[in-house]
Amino acid sequence: MALEVTNKDSGVNRLELLKKLQSIDDKSHDFSRQKKTIESRIDAKEARIADATARLADKHEELLDFQKNIDKKHLDLKCIEEGILKSRERLLQIKSNREYSAHLSEIGGKEADKGLLEDEILSMMTEFENIATAEQELKAEVEREKKELVEIKAEVENELSLLGKNIAETRSEWEEAARQVDKAALLQYKRLLGKDGQAVVEVVAQTCGGCCMQITAQTLNLLLRREDIILCQNCEKILYIANE
Ligand SMILES: [Zn+2]
């Protein structure tokens, strides 16, 4: 299948121009991918910051809860201590020996409870310190990530501005080449490019690089004559055969 040719003699030239357009469009496609990759660095860092911030909030909540538990234990301790004090005052008023020793052993029990509670509070304080340290580490992590985000944003801005220049150059290169292609060919090119980004494909071992179908001997002959723009009969992509 040959595309209607307005000027047969310019067939090869047109094909070269279309190949050039394709290579520029490949480059543009690559630039878009690069742009996405560059921009995704910011998204990735922001996600890390959000994650660390959420973990910090959880840790802070845990710390507050733990502090409440410790406060409760301190209140319990105070109650026991007051109880012991009152018991000791009462002890002074007891006259009978039996009652005295019973009361004394009751105080002993309270003292033992107090000791246990003090130990518990002590180990809770250690745990509290651990949670507080973990919270500080998370705070530092969030700060570090935020600092890195500022650096990444500056880098990304630089890279995007460089890329922007390349994209602009490529665009004018494209316009320049497109101006030299006739309307029918350019239209066909654009239509094909819009499908999957590939309009001009190489024929290798008599196989279309676009759809992998074998091309006919007639199409191969037309290609070798290098006079017209030849389309694949199956996928309609613009075919070319490498120069020997
Ligand atoms: Zn094909």
Å from CA of 55 to ligand 1 middle: 54
Quote the pTM value. 0.72
Residue pair 228/5 in contact (Cβ under 8 Å)? The answer is: yes
3-state secondary structure of 244: coil
pLDDT on residue 2? 58
Å from CA of 158 to ligand 1 middle: 41
From CA 107, how far away is CA 101, in angstroms rounded?
10
Ion ligand 1: residues, CB < 5 A: 208, 210-211, 232, 234-235
Burial class (CB in 10 A: 0-12, 13-18, 19+), 121: middle
Q: What is the pLDDT of residues 192-239, one digit of tens each?
A: 999 999 999 999 999 999 999 999 999 999 999 888 899 999 999 999
Lowest mean pLDDT among 29-38, 58-67, 92-101, 127-136: 92-101
Å from CA of 240 to ligand 1 middle: 11
pLDDT on residue 10? 52
Residue 5: pLDDT over 50: no
In this structure, the strands spanning 230-231 and 200-204 are unpaired
Residue 243: pLDDT over 90: no
User: pLDDT category, 126, cuts 50, 70, 90?
Assistant: very high
Question: What are the structural domains of the chain?
Answer: 8-240 (1.10.287.1490)
